[in-house]
A = this chain, B = another copy of it.
Amino acid sequence: MARWEPGARERMVLAAADLFTEQGYDATTVAEIAERAGLTERTFFRHFTDKREVLFAGSSVLVDLLAERVASAPPTAAPIDAVTAALQAAGAVLQERGAWAQRRQQVITANAELRERELIKMTLLVTTMADALRARGVTDPAASLTAEAGVAAFRVAFEHWVAQPTKKNLPRLIADSMKQLRAVTAGL
């Protein structure tokens, strides 16, 4: 039976962040990540399938959260408000991850394959929220457009936040970004 290693997952995530930053993503092996975390490779593979998954494992939490929040928004909420609130909840999770989110982004920005993976993740956020809106009875193209608009506002807010994640409040930046998106699309 596998021994339970308290905080093993977090230690490996932080060790990976250190190594990716120090010596690059491509040059870092799973063995090095495990060693830095003071754990075995076997423990690594109980938590992650490969080193890329260390960077993207947290994404499924966000996807599930977005689906759940859009679904549970008040029945009277306008679709754009349901989407904005869901993205703010995801932003609060990222805010807790703080400096890790920033380092993760630096690793991704430096690697073409990881940037592609990140783009695919963004598309998954759009389709997840569009599906959740359709389940609330929102028809197309409004469901797709609302989800696209939300992720557009989120992306711009996130890029602003990630430069100074401990000083800026991501949920608030997301709300501001949505207001600005509303203003620019209105031609103001």
Contact = CB atoms under 8 A, between A and B. Distances in A.
A79 to B, nearest CB: 6
A123 interface: yes
A25 B78 CA distance: 43
Nearest to A144: B156
Given A79-B184, A119-B120, A148 B152 contact: yes
A141 B160 contact: yes
A81 interface: yes
Nearest to A155: B148
A110 B22 CA distance: 38
Contacts of A80: 184-187
A142 interface: yes
Interface stretch (A3-11, A32-40, A51-59, A174-182): A174-182
26 contacts: A78-B188, A79-B184, A80-B185, A80-B187, A81-B187, A116-B119, A116-B120, A119-B123, A141-B156, A141-B177, A142-B180, A142-B183, A142-B184, A144-B159, A145-B153, A145-B177, A145-B180, A145-B184, A146-B184, A146-B185, A148-B153, A148-B181, A149-B184, A149-B185, A182-B185, A185-B186
